[in-house]
Structure 1
């Protein structure tokens, strides 16, 4: 069947190229981020999860929390979104394989390899725990081994959202690594991740999970009521420190486990440096899987890698440089090859006698092989002796044996009956969460009590439901859960109110950012002149600061245009002092040019020219004044005895005004007299010519 998402563009950005995997709650695709041109892993939730509004809200919150976590051993969350009925999460794409693939290929890992893998996983968990995040689903499938050598743990931010919003299908999917407190509904914290990591370390060391069963509920029951055995019980010869590490991580009581990833990481690294090379490179010759009560034929032989019959000594100290995943696996492969080859060489060399033909002589290599076989035989015998009871039932008391067998069968039947009641009609029975939205807290509590559900209340803000009424529950209405699982009743506190910040005298851009950060919006923006507030800054806001508004309510702003412009007074012809006074009184500055100009019309010492001559000018602006030096003095030539027309023209060209007085009608047109005649006169002065 063709996947409809293939070759589609999600949210206008992510080009889906191929499907990578399918899980219990989503499908993972390889996609290309067309905006940044890079490969990403696109996790698309199943439609029944994407249709749950409550789940999507939690999913979004957990995704944002996970996106803030940046660590080399944690798969980064890059983006999250909802497009129509499609809810997705965008994560860092890690090409390679999972720890599950490695376990399927190798079955059992050496302590050196297992501890190196755990170091990276616990380092990532420690960073998450320090940031307040709990993974809740630590398992080999979520440990990614990149082709570049990086070891990363994936799916932070999803486990919490899913476990609070889905039915028990999620429990079944990860039940092999589930902490007891999650089964009983007591809640999870960092120590729950430590438990799962301990189960994973047990599986890497032994090749099997500590608890198995025909149905998942048997495994869950074993987590609650059984103790994880020491790995050496299955693989005799493992270091005691490894037993203690596994059993510390998987203690039934969370108080007896490491408090978080950082506490475990310190002990893990201490053990890695304190074990000998032989202990770190130990290979168990064969192991047997434990059986649950009532389980039959649950024995599995765990085989080490081919040829791994000796211990390969390491040549560098653990902890000096942390190898990546590729180096770790290549080192293990090389060890297997070298040891296998060495084994063949020993067989070839030990097959005959020495050169001298002494049939009683045994080569040193053959002696060492026989010593190893004797040592392994002693180990097996010691293991059998340790499992043999020191006091056995007497063969002559068959009646006592019969009573004990009957008692054992009675206990098994009682346990089966209790389990049937517990998960059928008791606290472990499945019930559907009732819909209690828009009801009082008392009515909602009574409705939950009728279904046998325990609940706690949590007050949250809501824009629609009135304060004091129930909004809903987590898990949501109609979801099926076990009666012992807790339910959170969400009670409305009414709409959340946000205090209006004071944005007076901030720039319009800064004010908008401050209002947005406060959960509000920018309303109408108007402009006004202001003598006090510089242009571009806020001079008024409505509502005022400290008022409380609902999320997104707009706040109106009034932005200053700076001081209002003023009318430039006309001061041409006024004395310099009077002109300066009038300009300053208008709110402007007067600037007097040092160079004066001659003027026929403006008296000396008065304003001859002003710039600008009028109009509007910004308050504080400058008006430039040029002062008159009076009219220019011009040399007056004498024109007595010359023709009047010539005299008149030349005097006017010099800038004088000419007045002609004619005697006898000026018949001859000759200048008889001139006033003034010679010397200098101001430009524009009147020269009188007497013409005959």
Structure 2
């Protein structure tokens, strides 16, 4: 059946083209804004919500608030209004699909893709939380993915408006993603959105939701009384950091979750940076080749525990690099395949033996005279045969190297060199011409030997027990300087101190040493002790007087964190101006300290009291008591209903004004006095018409049925009476 809104024009502006989706609160259409000539998403509320005036008022306020939230990852709210029975919201049109469509199509996603998809969602929620908004209905259906890759989260403010307007106070949303505090009817804050994000991340990593039941109340009960298990129970091999992230976000106690989206965003990006490519690109079992049997929906698997391998030979490996995980009867078995296996040859195969001198292989020189080659192993010796033992040559029977083969010119040159060598040898005396004193030479050798012995002894002592001996640096962390120096002195080291800043170690205690604890160094090397000066402190900048955006930029420049932002009315400061900060400006704090801000909401709107009908003095007093100023108009007016001296009208008649605003009062002169002419003897119809034109009410008494229609008597007549008085005509 065709939708009755398709093809119509809503509010003389939005031409409805087609229906996109239908949900529990509204139907979404693709429409064209004829004024701006652009495609928009027109969300039309269901009739039972559109008929509730309280809800429409609340929705209008929420829509205005959401329209002020401008962020690249938040769907913009463009307009809101009513066209007869049609109540609608106009939002930015995102051409593409939802995260729910992607999960339904692909099932469990690799960690890299899951983290990349949820990052802009967390960033958008972080911006909303910083501005004081809470989504309350985070789920894959509200995450829109455009065809060009942009990711945005939508439906800000709608869940809150429905929750506030419904008589039961029950949140309209998807029970699979509700936080425990929302199920229990407790106030929601940014941490409720974090819980829903954790459930959504669990589903993205595993392809299923952590809690399931036949009816929604069963799922809600599990949210309150259950605990979300680690995703790795369903996807073996998933990084432990992802388990911790999901369970941090889905903690039952809100105090144990990230405080808001910005806190979660920092940890999320830290994890993405530190995970390895293998951990980021892990394929879930359902997507891997040769996937194992999936886990049943009601199966709760324990954290990863690996039993000892069974005795016997290891299982055969499949193709290189293929890892396989299976669930058999609830028991997980992991088989890891090594891509480049290394084989080790056993000790019994081809051992290496050191041969004694007499068994070393002889060089391939010709044998000495009188010795045959029979003792040399022939080149054709069979493998594994015993190698014959060769005796070493006698001292006077060396094996000369084979004579080189030279040319004639080279041979003549060698002969000349031999002749010159023989001549030099002949010129050199065979014995010294100056005989030394043998006794003196003996004393010299003794001295040399004693000095060498002393040097050797000194070196042995220096490197064995003296300053050159090696020793291990003791642990000095978190010790006082005196304690640390004593420990180093006992170990034989001398030390010097250096002051450093440290955020964790208290001032005056030792942070560590250089060389570090456990290092083996020579005792003569100096050891540096790093003594903590406490955390490095930085003065806070002055933030009061500027805008909230300027305060955020100032905190980022000072490397400080933005703490809670509180809004309050202020008569002097415009809306968005920072009124105060805590800690105050100039306070020395650590880097990253959160700074709380109080931001002005502008002047407080005051309701205008309705004083029409009150005496002038009473009306002025009522307006002054409301914090406003009364201005009495100089000209008074006649009033048929308001007595003289009372307020006939006021401007504005209702609504709100800021403190000191002006309310103009118009005072009544009472009813106008009008002369009543005589219509006795005239026709009753003419008399009645003339009297009504003069501002009187007419009462007709017919005698004998008023057959002739003539006025026989009139009361009052020929006198002045207040305008609006009743004139009685007696007609015959």
Give the shorter-chain TM-score range. 0.3 to 0.5
Instruction: Give the helix-richer structure, 1 or 2.
Output: 1
Q: Give the TM-score taking structure 1 as reference length.
A: 0.46
Q: Give the TM-score taking structure 2 as reference length.
A: 0.43
Larger relative contact order (Cα-Cα within 8 Å, sequence gap ≥ 6): 1
